[in-house]
């Protein structure tokens, strides 16, 4: 009997390794069930799921040119048709009528963020660049102020 991809066969476990199990199929042909194809859940040790001389049903998932046969136990198990979930309803509204954040967007002012400013419609590139530089300088000076006294040393402040 020729072994074709997709067929289900009965086989006997003849060897167990850390990466899977060897299964003897009909006619002295042996295939490998990789550790990831043993069960639907995570398999840490093959010995927890299979023992030598266990008879298992396997599905042929690939046949290489050099004769290696890839098998799967978890694909050979017929699963019941999955129940379809009811469609999800709309997400609940948050306070303020906004879907996320509830009011204006942007960063939370209480946590040190900047308030949200909508983009001006007729702002030139130079105006945007000068505003960016100003904000950047303010942030850098604030960071320097807050980290100045926290550096190591013998209590002397650096300048």
Joined together, the tokens standing for residue 143 give 């960071």
- Kindly list the domain boundaries of the chain, sorted by start residue: 8-72, 108-147
- Higher pLDDT pick, 36 / 83: 36
Angle at 128 between CA 127 and CA 134, to 5 degrees: 90
Q: Which CATH class is domain 8-72?
A: mainly beta
On average, the pLDDT of the chain sits at 80
**In this predicted structure, what is the pLDDT of residue 132?**
93
pLDDT at 119 over 80: no
Q: Is the pLDDT reported for residue 125 higher than 80?
A: yes
Could you give the dihedral angle defined by the CA atoms of residues 97, 100, 102 and 106, in that order, rounded to the nearest 10 degrees? -140
Confidence class for position 90, pLDDT limits 50, 70, 90: confident
Predicted confidence at residue 152, as pLDDT, reads 60
148 has a pLDDT exceeding 80: no
Tell me, what's the pLDDT at 74? 92
Comparison of pLDDT for 86 and 17, the residue scoring more: 17
Kindly state the average pLDDT of the residues 88-110: 57
Write the DSSP symbol of residue 44. S
pLDDT over threshold 80, residue 109:
no
**What is the Cα 144 distance to its own chain's centre?**
38
Amino acid 17: pLDDT: 94
pLDDT digits (tens, 9 = 90+) for 58-81: 999 999 999 899 999 999 887 766
Q: Which tokens belong to 64? A: 């290489």
């Amino acid at each position: 009997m020729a072994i074709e991809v997709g067929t289900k066969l009965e086989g006997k476990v003849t060897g167990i390794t850390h990466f899977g199990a060897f299964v003897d199929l009909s006619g002295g042909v042996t295939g490998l069930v990789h550790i990831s194809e043993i069960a639907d859940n995570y398999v840490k040790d093959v010995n927890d799921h299979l023992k030598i001389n266990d008879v298992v049903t396997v599905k042929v998932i690939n046949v290489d040119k050099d004769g290696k046969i890839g098998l799967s136990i978890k694909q050979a198990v017929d699963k019941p048709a999955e129940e379809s979930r009811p469609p999800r309803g709309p997400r609940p509204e948050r306070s303020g009528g906004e879907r996320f954040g509830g009011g204006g967007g942007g960063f939370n002012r209480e946590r040190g963020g900047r308030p949200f400013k909508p983009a001006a419609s007729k702002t030139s590139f130079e105006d945007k660049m000068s505003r960016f530089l100003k904000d950047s300088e303010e942030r850098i000076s604030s960071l320097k102020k807050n980290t100045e006294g926290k550096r190591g040393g013998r209590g002397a402040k650096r300048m």
